[in-house]
Structure formats: structure tokens, C-alpha cells
């Protein structure tokens, strides 16, 4: 009988400890400063590049971990350090994954190195999908890509929003509509090379949390990109659109479910980020409760505090297990018959909000000040229930999957 284990192997432990050391020694000491500045923490990203964390090789190694735990372990440790800085470090990976998933070998070899640069000349990339009127409702996307056959160019027009590294990136990956009648199946992804005319940064958002991560609108005005910048190539796109049109006639619901399965597979990574932030806040609260005295004894001696900490730790461990299960299922191609990807993201996100709020409460007035990190962690945690699908969308996905009904 095969052995069942939840123990990380030696290689995974080594990577975890290495990342934890970087988070403790480099990320955390810089967290408060860059949160206050609300700017991209270039020195930290450069340091991450020097040691090999900010690189395609590192993320590829974690992505191809056969257990599926490489990415969630890495995300938890980096976001334990600080959510805003960690998102600045991993944000380029969103665009890189888009190219890896949809690009040709030539496109992968050409563009991904330009997304990262090297330790002496760090580059950034941005993945641009959300729009002012199309967040969860991807079928409402308005950015259009029209093919100019005479010049073998695609012309992009529209506005993207909530783009990590948007406008400051060297390479932008833009999702646009090529066939509006097919809804989300009529979308395609395009590389916008550095310095392409017509692409500009719109509004930079001043955010409640994750303030060290640059988030902005990206405006596209008659942006022309060569035909070879269509990820996957035009022949592959034409074939995919033709299949989608046929399926839309005979089984449109089946197409939608297949697309949902793709989104499901990416959500555990966000859950792991939330686990990292929740764990960080819990550890601060636990240490504070052990050392803070009131009425002559540590406050952890009071059940009201001790029970809160017990619940916090229980939720964190449960969230991690859900994330690990979904990550393992995605890697081993196990079907998400109960929307396990959404379950992991939903529970971990809500856990981060709850645990960080409890940490602020345990620290009392100190928790409400910026002298202690739980104030920042509580602000950061709010994002997890919003991006990569809100908690309401996760519940909708889970409910539809369990019931088989088109719940609205």
C-alpha cells in the first residue's frame, strides 16, 4: 500500500527555509517603508533577482514540482514576509504564466527572458485582463483586437484596469476580444513589446493595502503589434475559434465548464498567499499575547485570548490543507468535481481577513497603530477576497458545481 504523507520532502523543505530566510531578512525590514511610499520596491526586487528568486528558472522549478506543492509553499513564505512586496516580486509571473500556457516555443524563448531581465537590469511584466466593466464578468470585455491582414498586424483598442505593474512594465500581455459573439471563448492574448506606441499608463490606484505593489490602468489606443505577437499564432487561433463556434451550436454549456476548470486550477496559489499573511499576523498576536501583561499575568492566560488564538491557528492549518489538496489535484489532473480550487481560495481568503482582524483585536490599541505590523497585514488581507474572483464568485462557482444548476 502506498504511503500517505503530508510531510514536505527534503528539497521542498530546503526551498521553504531559503525563502523564509529571505522574507525575514530582506522583505520584512523593508515592508513598512515601501507601504508608506506606495512605490515599487526596486531594491528588494533586485536583491531577489541576485539570489535567484526573481527569475523564470525559480518559478518554473516550483511550477513543475510533481507534488504540486512548490508554488503554494513559495507563495506562503514570501507573503508571510509582506504581501505588497511579495506581489511586486511575483507579479511578473502572472504574465509569464500567460505566455507559458498559450505561447509557442519561440514566443516563450523570446519574451519571458525580457520580462525578468537579470540582476543588473531588472525588468517587469504586466498581465492585463480586467476592465472597468469586466472583472468577474469576463464575457463583457470590451478591449478589441482587429487583424490588419495587409500589414500582418493586430490593432488593439481599449482600457485595462487593476493591472499589476501596468504601465511601468517592459512587456505587457493583453487579453482582447477577437470574436465578440463567442463571449469568453472569443478572447486571445497578445504581447505588447517595450516602447510600442499607443500604450500608456492611466490612473495609478492608491490602495487600501498591498501598497508596495504598483496597480494601474493601461490604456490602448490604436496599439499595433506584429502578427507574431499573438500568443499561439493565428493558425492556432483560427482553429480554436472554429471549434468554439461548433461547440456553441451543440454544447455551449460544456465549453463554459471547461473554461471554468482552467480558472479553478489557478486559485490555490492566491489561497497560499492568504495563508502566508494570516500566519504572519497569528504569529505576531501569539508572541504579543505571551509577553503582554495585564493584571499581573500574560494576557494569553485569559481564555478570551487563548481561545481566539486556538481558532486562528486551526483556521490557518485548515486553509493550508485545502490549498495543498487543490494544488495537488491540479498538478495530477484530478477533476475539481466539487470546485476544490474555489474552495481553497474562498476559505483561505476569508481566513486571512478574519485572522488579521483578530490579531488587531488582541493587540488592542497597539494593533490599531502602524508601530505594529498587524495593522498593515489587516489592510493587505482585504485584497484576497477580491482579486482572482471575489468570495461571492467563489461561492457561486462552488454552488453551481455541487448543484448542477445555473444559480444566479
Give CA separation, 81 vs 215, 271, 373, in Å. Answer: 20, 16, 11
Q: How far apart are CA 225 and CA 367, in angstroms?
A: 50
Burial class of residue 227, CB neighbours in 10 A (0-12, 13-18, 19+): middle
- How would DSSP label each residue in 179-209? -GGGGGGGEEEEEE-TT-TTEEEEEEP--SS
Q: How far apart are CA 300 and CA 77, in angstroms?
A: 26
| Grid cell at residue 191 | 504581447
Q: Which residue has the cell 505577437?
A: 229
Q: How far apart are CA 20 and CA 9, in angstroms?
A: 16
Q: How far apart are CA 204 and CA 165, in angstroms?
A: 10
What is the C-alpha radius of gyration for the chain, rounded to an integer number of angstroms? Answer: 22
Partner residues linked to 122 by β-bridges: 117
Is 388 in the active site?
Answer: yes
Q: How far apart are CA 163 and CA 171, in angstroms?
A: 12
Catalytic annotation, pick one of 3, 181, 388, 392: 388
Task: List own/partner pairs for 286-292 with CB under 8 A and 24 or more apart.
Answer: 288/362, 288/363, 288/366, 288/372, 289/362
Q: How far apart are CA 61 and CA 161, in angstroms?
A: 30
Q: How far apart are CA 343 and CA 265, in angstroms?
A: 11
- How would DSSP label each residue in 254-267? HHHHHHHHHHHHHH
Instruction: Please give the positions annotated as active site.
Output: 388
Amino acid at each position: 500500500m502506498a504511503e500517505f504523507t503530508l510531510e514536505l520532502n527534503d528539497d521542498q523543505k530546503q526551498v521553504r527555509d531559503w525563502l523564509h530566510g529571505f522574507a525575514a531578512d530582506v522583505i520584512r525590514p523593508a515592508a513598512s517603508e515601501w507601504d508608506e511610499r506606495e512605490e515599487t520596491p526596486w531594491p528588494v526586487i533586485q536583491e531577489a533577482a541576485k539570489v535567484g528568486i526573481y527569475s523564470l528558472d525559480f518559478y518554473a522549478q516550483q511550477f513543475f514540482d510533481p507534488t504540486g506543492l512548490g508554488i503554494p509553499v513559495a507563495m506562503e513564505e514570501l507573503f508571510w514576509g509582506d504581501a505588497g512586496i511579495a506581489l511586486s516580486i511575483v507579479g511578473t509571473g502572472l504574465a509569464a504564466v500567460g505566455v507559458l500556457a498559450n505561447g509557442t516555443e519561440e514566443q516563450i524563448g523570446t519574451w519571458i527572458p525580457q520580462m525578468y531581465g537579470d540582476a543588473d537590469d531588472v525588468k517587469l511584466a504586466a498581465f492585463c485582463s480586467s476592465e472597468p466593466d469586466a472583472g468577474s464578468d469576463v464575457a463583457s470585455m470590451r478591449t478589441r483586437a482587429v487583424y490588419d491582414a495587409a500589414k500582418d498586424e493586430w490593432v488593439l483598442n481599449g482600457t485595462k484596469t487593476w493591472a499589476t505593474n501596468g504601465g511601468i512594465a517592459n512587456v505587457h500581455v493583453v487579453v482582447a476580444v477577437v470574436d465578440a459573439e463567442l463571449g469568453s471563448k472569443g478572447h486571445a492574448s497578445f504581447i505588447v513589446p517595450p516602447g510600442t506606441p499607443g500604450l500608456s499608463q492611466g490612473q495609478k490606484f492608491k490602495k487600501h493595502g498591498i501598497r508596495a505593489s504598483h496597480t494601474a490602468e493601461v490604456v490602448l489606443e490604436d496599439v499595433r503589434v506584429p502578427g507574431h505577437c499573438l500568443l499561439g499564432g493565428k493558425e492556432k487561433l483560427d482553429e480554436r475559434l472554429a471549434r468554439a463556434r461548433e461547440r456553441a451550436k451543440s454544447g455551449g454549456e460544456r465549453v463554459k465548464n471547461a473554461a471554468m476548470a482552467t480558472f479553478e486550477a489557478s486559485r490555490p496559489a492566491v489561497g497560499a498567499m492568504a495563508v502566508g499573511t494570516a500566519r504572519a499576523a497569528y504569529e505576531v498576536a501569539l508572541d504579543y499575547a505571551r509577553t503582554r501583561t495585564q493584571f499581573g499575568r500574560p494576557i494569553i492566560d485569559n481564555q478570551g485570548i487563548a481561545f481566539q488564538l486556538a481558532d486562528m491557528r486551526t483556521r490557518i492549518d485548515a486553509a493550508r490543507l485545502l490549498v495543498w489538496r487543490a494544488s495537488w489535484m491540479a498538478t495530477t489532473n484530478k477533476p475539481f468535481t466539487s470546485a476544490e480550487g474555489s474552495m481553497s481560495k474562498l476559505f483561505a481568503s476569508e481566513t486571512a481577513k478574519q485572522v488579521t482582524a483578530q490579531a488587531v483585536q488582541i493587540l488592542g490599541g497597539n494593533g490599531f497603530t502602524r508601530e505594529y505590523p498587524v495593522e498593515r497585514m489587516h489592510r493587505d488581507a482585504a485584497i484576497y477576497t477580491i482579486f482572482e474572483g471575489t468570495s461571492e464568485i467563489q461561492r457561486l462557482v462552488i454552488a453551481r458545481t455541487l448543484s448542477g444548476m445555473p444559480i444566479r
